[in-house]
Every structure is written in C-alpha cells, then in structure tokens.
Amino acid sequence: MNETLWLFAVSFGASALGGILGMASGIFIVPLLTIFGKIGFQEAIGASLISVIACSCAGAGTYLKARLTNYRLAMVLEVSTTLGALSGVALMGILSEKFLTFLFSFILFISAFQMFSNRRELAGKIPPHSKSWGSRLKLHGSYPDYFGKENHYYVHNLPLGVFLMYLAGTLSSLLGIGSGVLKIPAMDSALKLPIKVSSATSNFMIGVTAAAGAAAYFAEGKIVPSLTGPVVVGSVFGALLGAKVLVRFSSNKLRIAFIFILIALGIQMVISGLEKS
C-alpha cells in the first residue's frame, strides 16, 4: 500500500506541476519512477504512456469547447505520429537502456531550453498556394478571440510538419512522453499555427500517438497494472489541479523553478546512464 501511495503522490505532483506550465507529465514521471522508484525503464514508459493518454483526453475538452482544436490537421499529422510510434516500438528492442537514458536526458535539457526561451507568435496571415497540401486537404481554419471575433489562420509547410511529427511519434513511444518538445516547434515554426491552436491541436494528437505505442506495450504485457493504476489516477487528478492553478497564478517564477528541476533531472539521468555501463 505504501508503494501505491508513493506512486500516486509522485504522479499527482508531476502532473499538477506539469499542468501549471501546460506540459505533459511524462517528462517528469519517467525520470522520477526510474531514478527514485528504481523501476525498470520499459515498465515506467508503459505506465507513463497511459498517463499521457489520460491527461490528453481529460484536457482536450477545454480546448474543443473554446474551438481551438484543428481536428482535420490533427488527423493528418496523426498518420505520421502513429507511424513514428510504431517505429519507436520496433526500435525499443534494438536500442540499449543506456542509450535511451541518455536520449531522455537530452530531451530534458532541450525542454529546459524551450522553457527558458519564450514562444513567439509566427502565425502566417498570407494564404499559401491553392495547390499546397494545407489547401488541398482544407486544413486552414479559424478560432474565436476573447470578443468572439473569428481569427483566420493558414497551414504552411505541411510536408516538413509531417516529418517532424514522425520524429515526435518515435520519441513518444521510445521514451513514454507526449513529445511536446518536438510538436510545439513543428506547429509554431513549420506549420505557422497560432500558439493557442498549436497547443490545443498538439494536446488532441498526443492521446492518439501515445495510444499507438501503448497498444503494443499492452499487447506485449509490458504494462504493469499495480504500477500503472496509481500513476494514471494520480496523473488525472494532478492534471486537473494543475489546470485550475494555471488559470489563477502567474507561472513565471514557477517556470524558472521548473527549468532547474528539468536540468537537475537531466543530470541525474546522465549519471544513471553512466552507472549502467
């Protein structure tokens, strides 16, 4: 029972804190479980993937209500993220745990850097060519602002976005994370979506990407119920609390604290990787 409470508390804390900054919890849950819980890498990834699905589904409602999610675009990008997830599942048996630990620490450092540098609005106001993929598949859209006025936006550079999403999907199933670290730059910079739309659409896609990886882990019997259960319950309630706090507090000081946490976890993962040799 003590272990169950510990798993619940860790996941609750990771998701609540992640939620405050609008991040998925996987990036905190996997290092915490492997470093402090001494849980195997693959078991931690399996549990984390289910918690990523849970948080994505729980959070998607708010964005859909606000009409910020571009589900047509999400569907197109999900082809490459799920293919990436499938590749990740195949690579899992080839890559060593040591390599994955180092890769995870690299992602933690990149996430810290992203959190340090603020996102810039790069949304394209000029419509792309009528023969572009975004136009052909009718992926351009609009969302209402605070006053209810419709803001139109256009989807650019779809092939580049699709390629980056493939990499994001691979990382997701290899490391048990939502891969916002790749999805956000892909959507902001390559596809040139408004920040609100890219956050909402990314959140919407994360669940499907994680489900593609989790389905293989589940079928292989790599998802341990006694570990995953408390992690998922803690993550859902933590994410709900985090989202409520996010609305009330300025997250600037927390952001700096989080940068240090991410760097500390990254260093800890490097040490853990070195110990595996």
Smallest gap from residue 39 Cβ to other proteins (A): 16
Instruction: For residue 38, give the DSSP letter.
Output: -
Helix, strand, or coil here: 51? helix
* 225 touching other proteins, by CB under 8 A: yes
Within 13 Å of residue 165, how many CA atoms lie on the same side as its CB? 29
Inter-residue contact 168 to 186 (CB < 8 Å): yes
Q: What is d(CA 108, CA 18) in angstroms, rounded to the nearest whole number?
A: 13
Q: By C-beta, is 225 or 250 nearer to other proteins?
A: 225
Among the listed residues 36, 113, 145, 226, the single contact to other proteins using CB under 8 A: 226
* 83 touching other proteins, by CB under 8 A: yes
Q: What are φ and ψ of residue 151, in 5° steps?
A: -105, 115
Tokens found for residue 110: 């990149």
For the chain, the first-to-last Cα distance in angstroms comes to 33
* 56 touching other proteins, by CB under 8 A: yes
Total number of residues that touch other proteins (CB under 8 A): 51
Q: By C-beta, is 242 or 266 nearer to other proteins?
A: 242
Q: By C-beta, is 115 or 208 nearer to other proteins?
A: 208
Q: What is d(CA 109, CA 115) in angstroms, rounded to the nearest whole number?
A: 10
Residues numbered 202 to 221 that lie near other proteins (CB under 8 A) are: 207-208, 210-220
Site for other proteins, rule CB under 8 A: 4, 8, 50, 53-54, 56-58, 60-61, 64-65, 67, 69, 71-72, 75-76, 78-79, 82-83, 85-86, 89-90, 93, 136-137, 207-208, 210-220, 223, 225-226, 228-230, 232-233, 236
